[in-house]
Amino acid sequence: MRIGIAGAGAVGRSVARELIGDGHRVLLIERNPAHYEPHSVPEAEWLLADSCELSALQECGIEICDVVIAATGDDKANLATALLAKAEFGVARVVARVNNARNEPLFTEDWGIDVAVSTPRAMVAAVEGAIDVGHLVPLMGLRRGQASLTKLTLPDDNPLIGRKVCDIELPEGAALVAVLRGDGVILPRAADELRAGDEMLFAAASGMDDRVRAVVHGVPAGRRMH
């Protein structure tokens, strides 16, 4: 995917590196000359411009981006960028960084925002969530990297569709902690049935992602949930 990131400070650069590592094409837009450092992420395209200005977004071809991330340290700038990207250029998915929790109620669809986040990892997950149905998406590290929280959205052809939670043979050290369905959050019980589109949240010890992914896609693993 082509991804535009407004804000090339520490957060924007971190997100850009991770997305480039995942095979995406990234454009970094930075208005502050002090933060304009193409050598820091040489694989990205760079533009020295203000993402709050319509002309700047036109210049960089923002309309051909699949995702725009407003990642500056200024909530007002992020809101303006998000609104322009969605309303003026029709960008399909807009992710915006919330710097001040008091401003979070503003970060809604009214401002063109599909997902509001506060950390670099969450920004990457929000991008991946647009395309990675069936893929295990890391959300956050736990216990100083000893464990992690991950998400997998069940595709229509997954063998777990119609099966019960107790049929998931997770390895020791991994647990299904929640299922997001529609606007609701389900605390999974053994008899609950899984549906296509369910967002499954797993907590697991470090290094177990491949085993969890294999189980969900029908490869036998170590134990049953009760």
**Integer angstrom CA distances of residue 186 from 4, 49, 141, 160, 199:** 34, 44, 22, 17, 10
Distance CA(16)–CA(3), nearest Å, equals: 9
DSSP per residue, 1-29: -EEEEE--SHHHHHHHHHHHHTT-EEEEE
Distance CA(88)–CA(147), nearest Å, equals: 41
pLDDT per position as a tens digit, 60-79: 999 999 899 999 999 999 99
Neighbouring C-alpha atoms within 13 Å toward the C-beta of 188: 24
Annotate 151-168 with b (16+ C-beta within 10 A) or e (fewer). Answer: bbbbeeebebeeeebeeb
In 3D, which of 152, 3, 169, 155 has the Cα closest to residue 70? 3
pLDDT per position as a tens digit, 2-42: 999 999 999 999 999 989 988 899 999 999 999 899 999 99
Q: Degrees (nearest 5) of the Cα angle 171, 154, 157?
A: 105
Choose from 60-64, 82-86, 90-94, 98-102 the range with maximum mean pLDDT. 82-86
Where helices occur in 84-167 by DSSP H, the ranges are 120-128
Domains and CATH numbers, the chain: 2-128 (3.40.50.720), 136-216 (3.30.70.1450)
SS3 (DSSP) at 152: strand
pLDDT higher than threshold 70 for residue 111: yes
Instruction: Answer whether 0.85 is exceeded by the pTM.
Output: no
